[in-house]
Every structure is written in structure tokens, then in C-alpha cells.
């Protein structure tokens, strides 16, 4: 947005300079027309002179003024050519600035689209993370209840001492293995005595 504002300011400056140069060109053209009218008026004066001496003196004066006017016209034409060249350059600069403004706007639009897509993906990921956390809490709760039931069943058997502190998973496994081994031994003993 800052780039677009800067380019638009440059564009306004160039367009203002273009208008000023065009105005100067029109003023130069008006001066040329006025000087041509003066030349025409001087030529008309020559035709109206009746006396040769006055005619010659007037011709010399007119010729001198004509030389001066031709020099001025040449200078004005040179300035006009420079102004035309400057106008062409300014028009090229204005076109380039407009193209840069359009390109910057297109680039910003693409960035906004990419940002919206990233934001949408982030929101989807946050939703999935929330679902995963809820599922994890549910599984953890079920696991703790299941572990509690195993500990309760393991240490509530005859001959087992209830735990005095928090029981580790290894201690639960050892207690269960002990119960299983004692059951197997008891089963073997009954089998040896012939008890079904």
C-alpha cells in the first residue's frame, strides 16, 4: 500500500509537470502566431509606402526586424521541439508509473489471497489440534480408570498388601505376575492330587 501511494504521488507529479509543459507549448505556439502576424503586418506596410526613399529605409528596418524575428522564431521552434521531447518523455514516465501501480496492486491482491489461504489452513489446524486434545484427554481418562481398576483388582486379592504410596506400572505387573504364578502352582498342586 505504501508503494502504491508513492507511485501515485509520483504519477500526480509527472501529470502536473506534463500539464505545465503542455501549457508552455501552447504559449510558445501563440507567440509564434503573433510574430507571424507581425511579419505579415510589416509586409503590408511595405506595399503601402509611396516614396522610394522611405520605402528603402522601411525595407531596411523591416529586413532588420525580419532577421530579428526569424532568430526569435528559430529559438521558439527550438524550445518547442524541446518541449515536445519533454512531453513525450513525461508521457512515457506516466505510462510506466501507471503500469507499476497496476503491477503493485496485482501483487498485493495475490499476497492477500495467500494470507487468507494460510489463515484458513491455520484455523483448520487449530480445530484439528483441539479435536486431538479432546480425544487425548478422553483416552487418558479411560486409561487412568482402567489402570485404577487393575490396581484395585490386583491388590484386593487375599494375601496382598494394599499399596502405601503411588504404585508404578512395574510394581503392578510384578504383583499380577505373582498372582498368576501362585494360581499356576495351586493348579499344578490340585492336578497332582487328582482334584479336577
What does each of the 196 residues of the chain score in pLDDT, given as a tens digit? 788 888 888 888 988 889 899 899 999 999 989 988 988 888 777 666 656 667 677 788 888 888 988 898 889 889 989 989 989 999 998 899 999 999 999 999 999 999 999 999 999 999 999 999 999 999 999 988 988 888 887 777 666 666 667 778 888 888 888 888 988 998 888 888 887 7
What is the phi/psi pair of residue 141, to 5°? -65, -45
* Cα distances (angstroms) measured from residue 70 to each of 28, 36, 62, 67: 14, 10, 12, 5
CA distance 37 to 44: 10
Three-point CA angle 108, 114, 118, nearest 5°:
140
Yes or no: say if 94 and 17 are a contact pair by the CB < 8 Å rule. no
Amino acid at each position: 500500500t505504501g508503494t502504491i501511494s508513492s507511485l501515485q504521488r509520483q504519477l500526480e507529479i509527472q501529470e502536473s509537470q506534463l500539464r505545465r509543459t503542455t501549457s508552455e507549448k501552447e504559449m510558445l505556439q501563440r507567440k509564434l502566431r503573433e510574430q507571424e502576424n507581425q511579419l505579415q503586418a510589416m509586409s503590408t506596410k511595405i506595399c503601402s509606402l509611396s516614396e522610394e526613399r522611405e520605402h528603402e529605409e522601411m525595407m531596411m528596418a523591416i529586413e532588420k526586424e525580419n532577421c530579428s524575428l526569424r532568430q526569435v522564431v528559430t529559438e521558439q521552434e527550438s524550445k518547442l521541439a524541446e518541449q515536445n521531447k519533454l512531453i513525450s518523455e513525461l508521457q512515457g514516465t506516466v505510462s510506466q508509473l501507471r503500469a507499476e501501480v497496476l503491477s503493485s496492486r496485482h501483487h498485493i491482491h495475490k499476497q492477500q489471497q495467500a494470507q487468507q489461504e494460510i489463515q484458513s489452513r491455520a484455523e483448520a489446524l487449530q480445530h484439528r489440534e483441539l479435536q486431538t486434545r479432546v480425544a487425548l484427554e478422553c483416552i487418558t481418562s479411560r486409561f487412568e480408570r482402567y489402570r485404577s481398576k487393575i490396581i484395585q483388582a490386583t491388590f484386593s486379592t487375599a494375601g496382598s498388601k494394599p499399596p502405601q504410596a503411588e504404585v508404578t506400572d512395574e510394581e503392578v505387573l510384578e504383583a499380577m505376575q505373582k498372582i498368576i504364578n501362585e494360581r499356576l502352582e495351586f493348579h499344578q498342586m490340585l492336578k497332582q492330587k487328582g482334584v479336577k
